[in-house]
A and B are shown apart, each in its own frame.
Chain A
Amino acid sequence: MALLDVKNLSIQFGGLKAVSDFNLSLEDRELVAIIGPNGAGKTTVFNMLTGLYKPTEGNILFEGNSLVGLKPHDYTARGIARTFQNIRLFNNATVLDNIKIAFTLQVKYGLGEALFRTRNFNTVEDNLELKSLELLKILNLDGKADFLAKNLPYGEQRRLEIARALATNPKILLLDEPAAGMNPNEIDDLISLIKEIKEKFKLTVLLIEHHMNVVMNIADRIKVLDFGHTIAEGIPAEIQRNPRVIEAYLGGGHVEC
């Protein structure tokens, strides 16, 4: 059984059908990329897969259970985490607190214990700090733990978004344009980072990306969206040669790799 099974997912905003009949079957530990021109509906798919938008039609089955109609935090609790294309960090909190916030679901103490700082509270908080710092270390951000998130450079803010998503202990990680605005060096680092965390955290990854060298490098499969419709699906080599994809991107001609 597939880990995530998306069937005929469609969403309509007024008269506009932003995504129609989107189907996706994600196997455990797979890395699938969704590509497509701007406005193709990629982020809208992500928003439906994380509960931020309620699909007009279709179903989302995660480990066999339907998720449609649940609140976004339930999606996260079940193991779907994401990053945002337009970075959404907790800007006026420290980097460390950003991670600690994402750990909230796993923190086990009551309000009373927190108010009176019981021993259990202190143990849990000590361990929480330890785990958060470990995670920051993996993402190479441990030196910045006390910085406010808004004061980080752009590339590090993107990494912090990934770290924060990992803290929720996901099974599926949705990355929305993680390489946007990065220079070629940073992109190379990002590629190895994604490979590394995928192994380390046993993740299934769904990726939206415009940088083709990222996509072609790490994706097991690629889906191509255009105006809300899936126009192609296959392994990277197939997609590169697919005439419909080339047409969608360039209106005919070469695909830049």
Chain B
Amino acid sequence: MNYLKDKKVYIIIVLLYIIITVLNKLGLLNSYLLQIIMLAGINIIMTVSLNIVNGFTGQFSIGQAGFMAIGGYASALFTTILFNTSSWPAYAQIPMFIFSLMMGGLAASIIGFLIGLPTLRLKGDYLAIVTLSFGEVVRASIRLIDYVGGPRGLAGIPRYTNLFWVFLFTFLAIYGARNFVNSSFGRACISIRENEVASETMGIDTTKYKVLSFTFAAFMAGVAGGLFGHLLMFLQPDTFSFLKSNDYLVFLYAGGAGSISGSIVSGLVLTIVPEMLRFMANWRIVIYSLVLVMLMLKRPEGLYGGKEFKWLKPKKRTVIAGNKGAEITN
């Protein structure tokens, strides 16, 4: 029974993908709307990644767009600058795209590791200032590197990102985050959020787990950056300014820090709603902000604060009679 219940979510995801594709093919969903859906997926990955650090590990990091930029540029390096993959045969392009996404994630996570190691000893406001500066350092540095286009940006990136890849990677990010959080790694992170001193005295190497969560989140953000670059076909350093990091903070806290479900819902809703409000021109920013103010007044813990969809909850492990409980010690 459990097996079937687990499968339900996968079926829904596949159905959703088919419906969107069919609607698009029938002309009921134009490419503009399709693009917004894809951006929503990328935003979900970003929000989930920020959630790992801020929501679950309790470290206040606010430079997530910096990792996105690193991932975006690193992956474009492989598909656009080093190799001109658009002239490659079709069968070689896709593997190269996936490879470049992984390289984007890897580059972001390496930088995340290097940044995290010294800075995660800092707490609260101090960590926030360091991560904020980090994001700006990334942006300013890319502006200075002529090899990747400098302040003009990097154009001519092939459009490899499509609905399928967005669906796949968004799903993988959510699946990975769920499994991370509901493992001893995620629980160790949660214990750091809840009480760092107690966490240490429970034998948890808090520095190690903080760096791990930071690196893991940076990897996700890097992959999201790669998808982003190959969707818009153009990367410009100023896209990844503090404002972008700020967007993801808003997504995270509106959805509920520490709830993956919240990140999914807010990533989706807060990407789509401002677009729907476009007919109101500049008033849309006012409305959008007012909605957020109302939300924070009514539900300061965020939409899904403290709640999860059933699929994302930890698995109830029924105890089998005769199970000796071996294996975990020694």
Contacts and interface: CB of A to CB of B under 8 A. Distances in A.
Interface of A: 50-52, 71-73, 75-77, 81-82, 84, 88-93, 97, 100-109, 111, 114-117, 121, 123-131, 133-134, 164, 167-169
A81 B317 contact: no
A116 B182 CA distance: 12
B195 A82 contact: no
5 contacts: A76-B201, A114-B179, A114-B184, A115-B183, A123-B327
B195 to A, nearest CB: 5
A93 B183 contact: no
Given A89-B198, A93-B190, A130-B323, A107 B328 contact: yes
Given A108-B328, A115-B176, A131-B325, A102 B203 contact: yes
Shortest 9 CB-CB distances between A and B: which pairs? A114-B183, A76-B203, A90-B194, A88-B198, A72-B200, A105-B203, A107-B184, A101-B191, A129-B317
Given A91-B195, A107-B184, A111-B185, 8 more contacts: A52-B197, A82-B201, A115-B180, A117-B179, A121-B183, A126-B320, A127-B323, A127-B325
Contacts of A123: 327
B139 to A, nearest CB: 30
Nearest to A128: B328
Contacts of A129: 317, 319
B329 A169 contact: yes
Contacts of B216: 111
Interface string B284-317: 0000000000000000000000100000001101
Contacts of A109: 183-184
B323 to A, nearest CB: 6
Interface residues of B, number: 37
B200 A126 contact: no
B201 A114 contact: no
Contacts of A90: 190-191, 194-195, 198-199
Contacts of A114: 179-180, 183-185
A92 B184 contact: no
A88 B204 CA distance: 15
B187 interface: yes
A71 B208 CA distance: 12
Contact of B202 (A71, A130, A134, A164): A164
A125 B201 CA distance: 22
A128 B314 CA distance: 13
Nearest to B314: A97
Nearest to A108: B328
Contacts of B258: 92
B69 interface: no
B325 A97 contact: no
Nearest to B186: A114
B187 A93 contact: yes
B212 interface: yes
B223 to A, nearest CB: 14
